Amino acid sequence: MLNLSEEQIVALAPDPASVKAGMGLSAIKNWQSLGAGNASIWGLCQGSGSSPYKTQVDLQDLASKCSCPSRKFPCKHGLALLLIYSRQKNNFPESKPPDWVNDWVVRRREKQTLPGIELPQKEETNSRQKGVEKRAEARQNKVSSGLEGLRIWFADLAREGMLSYLEKPPQYWTALSQRMIDAQCPGIAARFQGISARAFQLSQNNEGWLIRQLAQIHLLTEAWPQIEALPADFQQEIRTQIGFTVAKEEVMSQPGITDQWLVLGCHTTYEQKLTVESYWFWGIQSGKFGLYLQYIAPGQVPATRFVPGACVSGEWVYYPGINPVRGLFKQVAGTHDWQMPALQQTLSSASAQVAQAFAAHPFLERVPVWVSGVHFLAEEKQTWLIGAEGVAVPTDLTEDQRWLVLALTGGMDSDAFCLAGESGWAIAGICLQHQYYPILS
Partner 1 sequence: MPLPKLQTTLLLGVEKAPPEPACLPAGLESYFETLMEGGKEQGIWKIAAVTTAFERSAVLPIAWQGQLPTPVPELLPYCSSHANHLLEKSILQEFHAIVEFWLRICLKKGYLAHPKVLPTLLQWATSHKRYWHPDFLPVIGERGKWLASKHAKWKDLLPEAPVTDPDLATGAAFTQYLRQLRLSDPAQALALAEERWSEAPVAQKAAMLEVLSSGLALRDEVLLLRAFSDKSPRVQTEAFSLLQALPGSVLAQKTTSILQASIRISSSKILGFIAKNVLEIKLTADPYDLEFLRIETLSPVKGKSDEQHILEQLMAMTPPENWLPSLPDQPVKLNNLWLESPFSDFLPAIEKAVLRFADAPLALWLIIHWKNAAPALLSYLPEGPQRYQLAEAFLSQTEEVLKALLRAETKSYWPLPFCQRLFTHFQGKPYLISLDETSRFVWMLPSKAIDALESTASISQSLRDKINLQVTLRDQIQQSFLP
Chain positions contacting partner 1, by CB under 8 A: 5-7, 10, 16, 19-20, 23-24, 27, 151, 154-156, 158-163, 207-208, 211-212, 214-216, 218-219, 222, 347-348, 351-352, 354-356, 358-359, 362, 375, 377-378, 384, 386-387, 390-393, 400, 403-404, 406-408, 410-412, 422, 437
Ramachandran quadrant class, 268 (left: phi over 0; alpha: psi -120 to 50; beta: rest)? beta
Shortest Å, Cβ 123 to partner 1: 45
Distance between CA atoms of residues 30 and 191, nearest Å = 49
Is 404 in contact with 439 (CB distance < 8 Å)?
Answer: yes
CB proximity list for 155: less than 8 A, separation 6 or greater: none
What are the C-alpha distances in Å from 118 to residues 67, 160, 192?
A: 29, 59, 41
What are the C-alpha distances in Å from 68 to residues 7, 27, 76, 342?
A: 24, 18, 9, 45
| Exposure of 253 in the CB half-sphere (CA atoms within 13 A) | 7
- Of 331 and 414, the one with the shorter C-beta distance to partner 1 is 414
Angle at 293 between CA 409 and CA 404, to 5 degrees: 15
- Of 70 and 348, the one with the shorter C-beta distance to partner 1 is 348
- Of 39 and 358, the one with the shorter C-beta distance to partner 1 is 358
Helix (H, G, I), strand (E, B) or coil at 126: helix
Is 167 in contact with 129 (CB distance < 8 Å)?
Answer: no
Shortest Å, Cβ 222 to partner 1: 7
- Of 317 and 418, the one with the shorter C-beta distance to partner 1 is 418
- Of 176 and 328, the one with the shorter C-beta distance to partner 1 is 176
Amino acid at 372: S
Q: How many CB atoms lie within 10 A of CB 268?
A: 14
Shortest Å, Cβ 91 to partner 1: 16
- Of 57 and 150, the one with the shorter C-beta distance to partner 1 is 150
Shortest Å, Cβ 150 to partner 1: 11
Tally the residues of the chain: 441
- Of 10 and 105, the one with the shorter C-beta distance to partner 1 is 10
Is 57 in contact with 39 (CB distance < 8 Å)?
Answer: no
Shortest Å, Cβ 10 to partner 1: 8
Shortest Å, Cβ 291 to partner 1: 19
Shortest Å, Cβ 223 to partner 1: 10
